[in-house]
A and B are shown apart, each in its own frame.
Chain A
Amino acid sequence: MTVSSQQSEVRSLKYIFWRRFKKNRLAVFGGVIVFILFTVAILAPFIAPHGPDVIDVKHVLEPPSLQHPFGTDDLGRDILSRVIYGSRISLAVGFVAVGIATIAGIIFGALSGYYGRWADTVIMRFVDIMLAIPTFFLILAVIAMLEPGIWNIMIVIGLTSWMGVARLVRAEFLSLKEREFVLAARALGASDFRIIFRHILPNAMSPVLVSAVLGIAGAVLVESALSFLGIGVQPPTASWGNILTIGKDNIEIAWWISVFPGIAIFITVLAYNLLGEGIRDSIDPRLKI
């Protein structure tokens, strides 16, 4: 009996994580919403009642009705369909931008943390430089110099948000570098590359995961802001940001054009934040169950 009770004390990290995560109701809520958003984006052509670009000059600026549950915009297009298709843009931008940022951040952070000394100094200096320039201004300037378009936005947002990830990864590497399993791997003759990517990195991923999830929320906000200013996704492609532009100009007579995309952005950002925070709370080894 004593043997079995000892065995039952050992739990995998994943199990601990799940138990804690499930307890955090807000986080679960966030996760569920994220999943729903995902589904909506992928199934958009099947869910949307009308095409997002169908112009109907006779039904301009109509309030929500059975035919158009979210109303119509200034060219008679159905807002519900546009919001649904807009989720694809947000999803795409979020994932690709964060993907780029994470990869770049991991590379820089790993190199900086593992090799230390001058590599560390140079890279961290570069991070400082990038952090010094006001981010939104930087994005604005670069996008306006190149042409606005979904690919450019994704790349630029990605290339301006990797710094946080880099710092996190570096911190993890600094602390993990001296652990026994690393020394063991080195003693066995593993190459640096192998040590970094096969041994240390998997253990450093948890803060990166949190940062990535939170980063998606940020990317969605930035894309909305850029599209709102007119230098993001170009019409007639629907993006939550550029629907809001039309909403702003008609705010007193067509509240539905501003409200629904606004809610969509809000829910998306909220969901990703709750999810990210939930993951962070659940992963933190220092918090007791």
Chain B
Amino acid sequence: MITYLLKRLLEMIPTLFGITIISFFIIQLAPGKPTDVLADLNPKMTPEARERLTKYYNLDKPIHVQYLMWLKRVVKLDFGDSFSTDRRPVWTKIKERLSITILINSLALVLIFAIAIPIGVSSAVHQYSLYDKITTMLVFIGFAIPTFWLALLLMILFGVNLHWLPVSGLKSLGYENLSIMGKIWDSVSHLILPVTLEAFGGLAGISRYMRSNMLEVIRQDYITTARAKGLSERKVIYKHALRNALLPVITLLGLSIPGLIGGSVIFENIFGIPGMGQLFYQSVMMRDYPVIMGILTIGAILTLLGNMLADIGYALTDPRIRAR
């Protein structure tokens, strides 16, 4: 088991390199040099000032040297300073928004799995029934409907007309003055709409996957055997079929981890949530390369971690792998 873990960790390293190379490469795609953006602040920038900036950002050295120097700093989590007017360290800007995005996405993920798995299982068990068809439809509505549209409609309904929930943002005006209970409810009420909508959109994937896995497993011989042995249908489904069908779904859980930090750009814009998606979009629009690189790299690292966790989870639950 330990050797398995170590092997996975070692395999991660070249992948990590590959990711950083690709991120770096993407930035180079952009027309113009990064100093052009900085010079935007000062239309009177003299050639000497430009020279100084170029040296500071090592833009005069060949590409592979630039990459290595960047890499050296990244290992220390120093992604440099943002190119936008506020010049703050990239890591600070990312940190501010990371927790929000992770919170919302984790909650949505939990909700998705909590709903999608039962739906998937029951659809499979009652394949082709009315229940199956209805849930398929519902789940696809969630997948295919433009989320911002639904978001705005629900905002209008719950926020403006009924005043049950706040329209946007993360906290209300008098937040500091609320009691503990008040604070909790305030935060929760701000999160209800974004989390629910995000979950609604993500149900389709997991539930369909669960359903098809379940279908596959139910057709297996050992299920027929279990039934022939006289076990109750309930035991057959939940104790035998489900466990086996669940395994690939756990892998999906691990693969969903990069989604955790990839906050939806559209969503965060509409709900005014200061998350990673919004930061990424703004940085891309402003050609704020240090931030872009930082986010892509961190996203990639988290993905690899997620994959590893998924593999561990898989190994823990599937004895065949452990035996290797």
Contact = CB atoms under 8 A, between A and B. Distances in A.
B281 A244 contact: no
A258 B208 CA distance: 28
Given A129-B15, A129-B19, A140-B281, A262 B26 contact: no
A137 B262 contact: yes
Interface in B137-171: 140-141, 143-146, 148-149, 152-153, 156
Nearest to B145: A266
Given A133-B22, A137-B295, A248 B152 contact: yes
Contacts, number: 123
Interface in A204-236: 217, 221, 224-225, 228-229
A26 interface: yes
Given A146-B29, A229-B265, A287-B219, A262 B300 contact: no
A134 B258 contact: yes
A129 B26 CA distance: 14
A134 B259 contact: yes
Contacts of B23: 133
Nearest to A240: B146
Q: State which size class the interface on A falls in.
A: 35 or more
Contacts of B68: none
Nearest to A130: B22
Interface stretch (A7-15, A174-182, A269-277): A269-277
Contact-size category for B: 35 or more
Interface string B1-43: 0000000000000110011001100110111000000000000
A286 B221 CA distance: 11
Interface string B111-141: 0000000000000000000000100100011
B30 A128 contact: no
B199 interface: no
Contacts of B31: 145
Contacts of B26: 138, 141-142, 145
Interface string B241-266: 00000000000000100110110111
B310 to A, nearest CB: 12
B203 interface: no
Interface string B264-281: 111000000000000011
Given A125-B14, A132-B303, A266 B141 contact: yes
B299 interface: yes
B265 A129 contact: no
A138 B297 CA distance: 11
Contact of A262 (B22, B146, B295): B146
Contacts of B145: 262, 266
A5 B140 CA distance: 44
Contacts of A144: 284-285
Top 5 closest pairs, chain A to chain B, by CB: A134-B262, A269-B144, A129-B18, A132-B303, A145-B30
Interface of B: 14-15, 18-19, 22-23, 26-27, 29-31, 133, 136, 140-141, 143-146, 148-149, 152-153, 156, 208, 212, 215-216, 219, 255, 258-259, 261-262, 264-266, 280-281, 284-285, 292, 295-296, 299-300, 303-304, 307
